[in-house]
Amino acid sequence: MQQRAQDTRLSVIEGAARVFAEIGYGNASLADITKRAGVTKGALYFHFTSKRELALAVIDEQHAMVQAAGSDIVASHRPALEKLIGLCRMFGQQLLDEPIVRGGIRLTFEASAFQADVSGPYQDWITTAQQLLAQAQAEGDVRSDLDPAAFARYLIASFTGVQMVSEVLTAREDVMARIDHMWEFMLPALTQRPAG
């Protein structure tokens, strides 16, 4: 795709993400989106044939954006456990700062409304967490008898709930503090052997 076409596509996605983040999938119309994105209906329909297709593109773009920021953290020279905590804080910050991430996450929660399978992004994050936990075991920061797969699954589920409940109760005002609380309450399970 030519650069100009790519730019238009991305600005349609970002405009759509802002609308979806604000009013949700069910209440958003393609007319709202063209207005917000500052693109014509023609430009929108050149790239997307339906609201559903556009919603799926927002989710893809959001996941790609957070994964890219995550790759930088994973590639950095830090202990694996620090990387894992850093990934969660980065994701929280993106939820505060990035319209595409806010829109993509709202759509992920609403995905049943448009029959989208959103298991892929969850699985990707579970795999990343599992790998980092196994590294942290090798580095001696996580107890060797922890099951990295089970804990990774728990971590991603907890993180999902923490940011969701933060949105319901405080419009995400306390999301960073809640992520820090989550880690404070998770670390003992990672470092201390269970009794018995």
- Contacting positions for a second copy (CB under 8 A): 24-27, 106, 109-110, 112-113, 118-119, 122-123, 150-151, 153-154, 156-162, 164-166, 168-169, 178, 181-182, 184-189, 191-192, 194-195
Q: In angstroms, rounded to a whole number, what is the distance separating the alpha carbons of residues 184 and 43?
A: 48
**Closer of 43 and 141 to a second copy (Cβ):** 141
Q: In angstroms, rounded to a whole number, what is the distance separating the alpha carbons of residues 174 and 66?
A: 20
Q: In angstroms, rounded to a whole number, what is the distance separating the alpha carbons of residues 61 and 149?
A: 26
Q: What residues have CB less than 8 Å from 111, skipping those under 6 apart?
A: 59, 117, 118
Q: Closest separation between CB of residue 67 and a second copy, Å? A: 18
Q: What phi and psi, each to the nearest 5 degrees, are found at residue 39?
A: -120, 160
**Closer of 42 and 188 to a second copy (Cβ):** 188
**Closer of 138 and 157 to a second copy (Cβ):** 157
Q: Closest separation between CB of residue 106 and a second copy, Å? A: 7
